[in-house]
Amino acid sequence: MQHSQAHTPNISSAHSRSFWGLLAALLAILVLASACSLIERETNTVASQDAIVAEAAELEPGDVPVKALAALHDTWTILKNEFVLRDELDAAVLADGAVKSLILATGIPELRNRSSFPEASLERPDEVPKELEPIWDAWAGVFQEYNTIEAPLDPIDLSQAIIRGLIDALDDPHTAYISPERYALEELDFTGEYQGIGSEVHNQRGRFILSPMPNSPAEQAGIRPGDLLMAVDGVSVEGWSILEVVQTIRGARDTEVVLGIIHLGQEQVVDITIKRGDIDLTSVFWNMTSDGFAYLNLRAFNSNSDESLIETIAEINKQGARGIILDIRNNPGGLLTTVVTIASQFLDGGVVVYEIDGEGNRKDWDVESNGVAQDIPLVVLVNQFSASASEVLSGALQDRDRALIVGNTTFGKGSVNRLKPLSDGGGLYYTYGRWYTPEGRLIEGLGLEPDVVVPQGIQIQGDPQLEKAIELLEEAVSALER
């Protein structure tokens, strides 16, 4: 493959870094929220509610269901052994959250005013972990005193409430309980074609932020990057997990969903009706500027984005581009393997990103060989909606002095997540690792600061970030050409 300017130093090479450092100082920073929100998933092959339902059907007043709490035991075991911050788990706090959720879910006013639970006469099963004993005691006491023929308690609903209460007390935005119904939908989604509204959803400190794909049903209906989601089909999303939001919004082609949203910078909730459709996953777009630069817009890190980008760079080189402006603004992220391959096109050796799990074990994702754009001058555009894989890419290029990063602070999503089945047919979506840039910067909750901060501005007033990128790239390339 032919490369233009094969021997030209890159825009942030070691000998030119002082120039960029001075320029950044004189002129003056999203990592989903996700360093890569990589989800590892296990199929639920053994879980079922049948045993729980059968046990509940045989309950007499005063009986205590046991099997309904198996999923709680699963949840605690997973968190204790695999959660990224498992050494910081406070079992007492989690148990308190679970018990409070149980009280609310019963709907029994008397329970809310009691200072203690009825004492259960049933001996705890041997398999109840010590940390869960307060939950078992509350569970058994409630069923023995309040489960009647006239007002039967539902062990399935209450067990799910307990799990959600425990997870809420965990205070991790990327950990959630998935009901059996939604877990089944997840399994279907992995085998079907991509249909829906065409928008990513991010959990930003308990608020759900939308990022529509270009030319998607969501964008065509009026959804804008940064819109705050308030309701789906008239139902408030307060207290929902991000997977509950995603699954509720998704749907088959030609069906409709109504989203209640607040546009960025406004206060009023607006209802927008969106007709679901097939989603175009094309992620790489580019054109040549009048200055001889290639403007390359990377909109997602899909399974074919790396191949498309490599083909695009080959064409860019053929046309003799003087430099590249890589725009990953509003890019919500995607696949880890894809971002590693894409970053490797611009880097020569080293690490793209590394992961640390709850035990402190480190796993490196190294640069792949034979990158096709290791020398061409490069500026990267980011904003507050650049997340996950976008932050991995910009962090690697920034730490390796390979590119100048321009725009706003990125989103701050740097968690690695797993989805595991539970005994009730549902699942636990939880955080088991964090992503770090090559120089050890944590992405999760912080985001990455650009080298040059430029407010995004209003689109009708032009694109100040792009204009600044062209200006800086011109200065750098001109200096190298002299």
Catalytic center residues:
388, 399, 413
Q: What is the C-alpha to C-alpha distance for residues 277 and 251, in angstroms, rounded to an integer? A: 9
DSSP assignment, residue 10?
P
Q: What is the C-alpha to C-alpha distance for residues 258 and 253, in angstroms, rounded to an integer? A: 15
Q: What is the C-alpha to C-alpha distance for residues 345 and 308, in angstroms, rounded to an integer? A: 12
Q: Is 345 helix (H, G, I), strand (E, B) or coil?
A: coil
Dihedral sign for Cα 331, 333, 334, 337, please.
Answer: positive
Mind giving me the DSSP string for 99-125? HHHHHHHHT-HHHHT-SSPPPP-SPPP
Q: Report the candidate in 48, 79, 25 with the shortest Cα–Cα distance to residue 428.
A: 79
State the distance between the two ends of the chain, measured CA to CA, in whole angstroms: 27
Any alpha helices (H) in 201-295, and if so which ranges? 217-221, 242-249
Half-sphere exposure of 409 (CA within 13 A, CB side): 9
Half-sphere exposure of 88 (CA within 13 A, CB side): 8
Q: Report the candidate in 463, 468, 284, 299 with the shortest Cα–Cα distance to residue 390.
A: 299
Burial annotation 407-442 (CB, 10 A radius, 16+ → b, else e): bbbbbbbbbbbbbbbbbbbbbbbbbbbbbbbbeebb
Q: DSSP strand E in 336-458: where?
A: 351-357, 362-366, 378-382, 404-407, 415-421, 427-436, 452-453
Q: Which two tokens stand for residue 328?
A: 């990953």
In single-letter form, the type of residue at position 47 comes to A
Q: Which two tokens stand for residue 407?
A: 């725009």
Give me the phi and psi of 96, to 5 degrees please: -65, -40
Q: Tokens 């393997």 label which residue?
A: 337
Cβ-contact 146, 106 below 8 angstroms: yes
Give me the phi and psi of 97, to 5 degrees please: -65, -40
**CA dist 391 → 81, 360, 418, 442, 449 (Å):** 28, 22, 20, 11, 10
